Structure 1
Amino acid sequence: MKIEILVAAHKKFPMPEVEGYLPVLVGAKKNYKPDIPYQRDDEGENISAKNPNYNELTAIYWAWKNLKNVDAVGLVHYRRLFFEKKPYNLNNAISVEKVQKLLQEYDVLLPKKRNYYIETNYSHYIHAHHKEPLDKTREIIKKSYPAYLKAFDKVMKSKKAHMFNMFIMKSRAFDSYCTFMFGILSKLENEIDISDYSVQEARVFGYISELLMDVWLYTTNESYKEIPWGQIGSKHLVKKAISFVNRKFGIGKRQTHF
């Protein structure tokens, strides 16, 4: 199998130096520097200019439209990867040989679900972000993708989800996923006004896409397996915990956008 695992990055950073990994510079026009030798996301058919709103999805879109003759496509992040074993460092990043063996049995490889414990995916999202885009997403699915509505409501009520836009998929599944995800996001762009969103909140389409993974997965019934993942460097867990509590109880909560 020919496998390409994209490593999305906005700057130069140590990368896995093994076969099958393709570093991709996202937001390439803005982030390019002569010493960054990565594949740019602004070549061929692309949405690189939307990177401030789409995050790592611009790398996924580039792969969807431009990678040819591949059997499987994956996406990881420059600091967040799939691993074969601990310790989580570049030397232990999952090998394409291991991926190939897993894809003999499964169509999709994903990180272990994130568990929010005391919140549903819906309540967690609206405590952290503007509510309108997620509600609009449901309207779009109900109108244009009704076969996915049951799964969407299931995901919203669940306290767990496959997050981070990390995956490795057979090419057929990858095409199906991208067709669904980018189809919804292109409609959502026309339904919401993000002109007064903060820089952080303007990344809305990237945030929404994380919740679309399981909506697609549960509707299409692709076979999948969860594999170990980890993050290189500090996770800032204490800061994240404080931020979560503040959002949950409305401390310093920003105004909802309409």
Structure 2
Amino acid sequence: MKILVASHKDTAMPKDKDLYLPILVGANKNYNGQVGFQLDNQGDNISDKNPNYNELTAIYWAWKNLKDVDVVGLVHYRRLFSKSHKRELSEVLTSSQIEQMLEKAPVILPRKRHYYIETNYSHYIHAHYQEPLDETKKIISEDYPEYLPAFNKVMKNTSAHMFNMFIMKKDYFDNYCEFLFGVLFKLEGKIDISNYSVQEARVFGYISELLMDVWIETNHIDYVECNWIQIGNRQLIKKIIVFVKRKFNSNIEKNETHF
């Protein structure tokens, strides 16, 4: 089993080096001598796409280069799976805990994020540009039609498995990557992000979060959910303020366009 811990900088990592593999994403730009990291620019890679793909460059590296493993996972340097609610690196999942969960299902996902008053679609377009998500639907409709019913369902749901966090048996991981990158590489050719801000240019990473449940639903994948912890300050108040501003500004823009 290998659980990749994606990071763009040198930071504290889980101590179990046999299980957890720190991986430096965007290594072509972010590497400055960090020790103990797998670099995402080695072998078959898309490291140069990191500003637009976020942690997906780590997923792609694992898909193409990680051999002789039965289980692959991805977490983040500040957001990790844990059975505990203590926000400490010492509380991350152990090999035995992972094995026990994988006996119940081949995929482990974080507990769903609930929006309650918004659908996944409305939440996305209040936070980001609408065009990429609409183009994603067109791609799925034309090239992956078997996934369209699940896509429509996920867009109407008010919760989703977010954060691009997972642990999967290797054959499921390979299948997921074929679908995920197949869609995203096509999307690259459909949208122009040259004028996007640095934040919005991370569009393919944002879109990918919604594609996880589309893949799960379509292929009837059994999964178990696991608690996750966030190391450091979660800035909850700031996030709530940003959410309200996004929704308010989105409504203003729609009204201005309407009139």
The two structures have a TM-score, normalised by structure 2, of 0.95
Look up the equivalent residue of 2:5 and give its one-letter code: V
Find 2:2's aligned residue among 4, 17, 36.
4
- 2:34 is equivalent to residue 35 of structure 1: yes
Look up the equivalent residue of 1:226 and give its one-letter code: E
Alignment of 1:1-80 (within 5 A): 3-18=1-16, 19-80=18-79
Look up the equivalent residue of 2:111 and give its one-letter code: K
Identity %: 61
**Whole-Å Cα distance in 2 between the matches of residues 252 and 222 of structure 1?**
37
Matched-pair contact (CA < 8 Å) for 1:246–1:253: no
Alignment of 1:205-244 (within 5 A): 205-244=204-243
Is the deviation greater in 188-197 or in 27-36? Answer: 27-36
- 2:180 is equivalent to residue 177 of structure 1: no
Alignment of 1:43-122 (within 5 A): 43-122=42-121
Per-residue deviation, residues 191-220 of structure 1 (Å, max 9, x unmatched):
000000000000000000000000000001
Look up the equivalent residue of 2:141 and give its one-letter code: K
**Whole-Å Cα distance in 1 between the matches of residues 141 and 251 of structure 2?**
34
Moved over 6 A (4+): 251-256
**Whole-Å Cα distance in 2 between the matches of residues 16 and 40 of structure 1?**
17
Look up the equivalent residue of 2:12 and give its one-letter code: P
**Whole-Å Cα distance in 1 between the matches of residues 96 and 69 of structure 2?**
15
Matched-pair contact (CA < 8 Å) for 2:4–2:20: yes
**Whole-Å Cα distance in 2 between the matches of residues 162 and 35 of structure 1?**
31
Q: 2:192 — aligned with what?
A: 193
Which runs of 5 or more residues in structure 1 are unaligned?
none
Look up the equivalent residue of 1:242 and give its one-letter code: I
**Whole-Å Cα distance in 2 between the matches of residues 97 and 11 of structure 1?**
29
Look up the equivalent residue of 1:64 and give its one-letter code: W
SS of the residue aligned with 1:45?
coil
Per-residue deviation, residues 45-66 of structure 1 (Å, max 9, x unmatched):
0000000000000000000000
How many positions carry a matched residue from both structures? Answer: 254
Per-residue deviation, residues 169-203 of structure 1 (Å, max 9, x unmatched):
00011001000000000000000000000000000
Matched-pair contact (CA < 8 Å) for 1:247–1:253: no
SS of the residue aligned with 1:250?
helix
Superposition deviation, residue 251 in structure 1 = 6.9
Q: 1:125 — aligned with what?
A: 124
Q: 2:136 — aligned with what?
A: 137
**Whole-Å Cα distance in 2 between the matches of residues 180 and 251 of structure 1?**
31
SS of the residue aligned with 1:97?
helix
Superposition deviation, residue 35 in structure 1 = 3.3
Look up the equivalent residue of 1:43 and give its one-letter code: Q
Query: Are residues 129 and 253 of structure 1, via their aligned partners in 2, closer, same or farther at CA, if it must alter by over 3 Å?
Result: farther
Query: Are residues 47 and 98 of structure 1, via their aligned partners in 2, closer, same or farther at CA, if it must alter by over 3 Å?
Result: same
SS of the residue aligned with 1:110?
strand
Which runs of 5 or more residues in structure 2 are unaligned?
none
**Whole-Å Cα distance in 2 between the matches of residues 200 and 190 of structure 1?**
20
SS of the residue aligned with 2:148?
helix
Per-residue deviation, residues 58-114 of structure 1 (Å, max 9, x unmatched):
000000000011101000000000012131211110001110121122110000000
**Whole-Å Cα distance in 1 between the matches of residues 36 and 92 of structure 2?**
20
**Whole-Å Cα distance in 1 between the matches of residues 177 and 26 of structure 2?**
19
**Whole-Å Cα distance in 1 between the matches of residues 252 and 243 of structure 2?**
11
**Whole-Å Cα distance in 2 between the matches of residues 78 and 38 of structure 1?**
12
**Whole-Å Cα distance in 1 between the matches of residues 136 and 35 of structure 2?**
36
Look up the equivalent residue of 1:6 and give its one-letter code: L
Query: Are residues 59 and 253 of structure 1, via their aligned partners in 2, closer, same or farther at CA, if it must alter by over 3 Å?
Result: farther
